[in-house]
Each structure stands twice: as C-alpha cells, then as structure tokens.
Structure 1
C-alpha cells in the first residue's frame, strides 16, 4: 500500500495531479478541497494516499490531511459507494461539513452533491451515523489525534480484525505520548482482558 507521497508537483488538471517522486510521475486523483490547498506547480507537495487496485487499473487517491483520507476510507467501506462517489462527497463538502450533516442527519446537504441521490444520501447518513463524530477530527472511534500514533495503532488493530469500536476504545485508554509499537502492544493486552 502506498500511504504517503512527497515530491514535486508537475501538473494540476482537476481532479488529477501529477507528482514527480525521484523520477517517477504518480497520477493522483484528489478532492477539490485538497486541490485548492495545493501549492503551485514546481513546488514540493506531500499527500496522504489511498491505493485502489482493480482488475483493469491501479488508482491512487491523494488527500491534504489524514482526516480527509480517513473519511474517504470510511465512505468507500459503505456498500454502493465507490471511490469516485467518495471523492465527489469530499469535493462538495469539507470533512467538518460532512460530520455536521451526519450529526444533524441532514440529507439535503448531501443531495446537493452531483451523483448523490436521495436514497444514497439516506444510506450514507445511516451508515456514517456511528462512525463520524461532529466534534472529532475524523472517525468517532479514533479517540486520538488523527495524525499521531493513535491513528496508526487504530489502523493496526482494525487490520488485525478488531472492529472500529473496540479499536477506538483501546486507543483511548493509551497515554498520549505512546509510540506506535508500544501502543499496539498495550492495546492488544487491553483487548485480550476485555474478551
């Protein structure tokens, strides 16, 4: 998995950007929120990325913040929501606006986004209700700064098969200054005691 790209920004053709990383040009689709925050061409840029592998293509999506990427990953987990729909949502609404719409169960805000109909909006609100929190930076279960060791520990626990709620609870129990490896070890101990 390609988790982050740092390189020179060669082209900006919305929603596609081309980033040169030591002679290799990566085509990366970005939401408009990220696109507007990019520096000018020729400048160095860092993007958090998500790689989608299909039979006919390898697609790389880039985000200015970890919160955008986490939200994108939550969106593509929803049945019927593909990467393009998730990108459209993040282009039409900021992460904070999406969290507010979910908290208020406001389908009208989602329907205004091209490609999102009433049924899709209602399904999104239902699926995201317990996953996004209006007051936090990303997933409601993260319980730690999105870019810190807490999110790495959370991702590791989810990869090991724990659900978001269990992983989030374990991460919230950890000290703020814990390293990723120690955090994973401590979280696994906590989770084994809970079962």
Structure 2
C-alpha cells in the first residue's frame, strides 16, 4: 500500500494532479479541498494517499490531511458509495461540516453535494452515525467561546448531542456560559 508521497508537482488538471517522485510520475486524484490547497507547479508536495485496486485499474487518491483520508476511508465503506462519490462529498464539504452533518443527521447539507440524492444522503447518515462524527469530532467547529462548556452542560442534563448542537445554533455569538445554558434550555423546552 502506498501511504504517502512526497515529490514535485508537475501537473494540475482537476481532479487529477501529477507528482514526480524521484523520476516516477504518479497520477493522483484529489478532492477539490486538497486541490485548492496545493502550491504552484514545480513546488514540493507531500500527500497522504489511498490506493484502490480494481480489476481494470489501480487508482491513487491523495489527501492534504489525515482527517480527510480517514473520512474518505469511512465513506467508501458505505454500501453504494464508491471512491469517486466519496471524493465528490469531500470536494463539496469540509471534514468538519461532514462530521457535523452526520452527528446532527442533517440530510439537507448532504444533498447539496452533486451526485448525492436524498436516499444516498440518508444511507450515509445511517451507516456513518457514531463513526465519522464521533471519530473526527464535531465540537472543533463550535469550540469558540464557551460553547463547548454549554454543549457539555446540556449533554450532562440528559439532552442528546444532536439536541444540544441544535440549541447551540440558536444562541447569539459571544454569549456567556451561564446565559448560554439558560437560553439553550429555553429553546429546548419549546
């Protein structure tokens, strides 16, 4: 298995790039998130990779972060989701947005990705629940201010993480922890 490549970037044709590693040119398919993070042609690049071996081809996928590669590997485990669809999901959503959508069971966010219909989105949410959202964490995207403390307080009071995250979205920015808990409880009681 090829796990990582470091070399000179010689081609950028979305979604494929070319990477020269000591005289050997690798064609690597990347998400648009990784593609936009790449430097100019001729620059040194290190990518984490995933090799897919099929009867008719060996395809190398590249990722700029370990989290993105982990999300890709979880996505391709879902029945009916191939590598191209997984790459499309990661091109349309950041890893934190994807994990938040899974934790909150938000099909609306997933169906905005080209190639993902309602049934596919529901299957993704069902099969990845407790895997992707939990492993990659949702709280980094809401961890500003005291929102993490508010989230922990709400879950300690018996609300599910999904309910607590929904309540956090209703809070004004910069709210104190005590006021945030009070406002969140008020919105949850409706």
Q: What is the TM-score normalised by the length of structure 1?
A: 0.69
Partner of 2:110: 110
| CA displacement, residues 68-89 of structure 1 (integer Å, 9 cap, x when unaligned) | 0000000001110000000000
Partner of 1:52: 52
Partner of 1:79: 79
CA distance in 2: counterparts of 1:45 and 1:72, whole angstroms: 20
Structure having the higher Rg:
2
Partner of 1:21: 21
Q: Retained in 2: the 8 A contact 1:30–1:61?
A: yes
Partner of 1:127: 127
Q: How many residues align?
A: 138
Partner of 1:99: 99
Q: What is the TM-score normalised by the length of structure 2?
A: 0.71
Partner of 1:137: 136
Q: Retained in 2: the 8 A contact 1:12–1:41?
A: yes
CA RMSD of aligned residues (A): 1.4
Runs of 5+ unmatched residues, structure 2: 139-190
Runs of 5+ unmatched residues, structure 1: 140-195
Q: Secondary structure at the match of 2:67?
A: helix
CA distance in 1: counterparts of 2:66 and 2:40, whole angstroms: 21
CA distance in 2: counterparts of 1:26 and 1:35, whole angstroms: 15
CA distance in 2: counterparts of 1:102 and 1:113, whole angstroms: 14
Q: Secondary structure at the match of 2:9?
A: strand
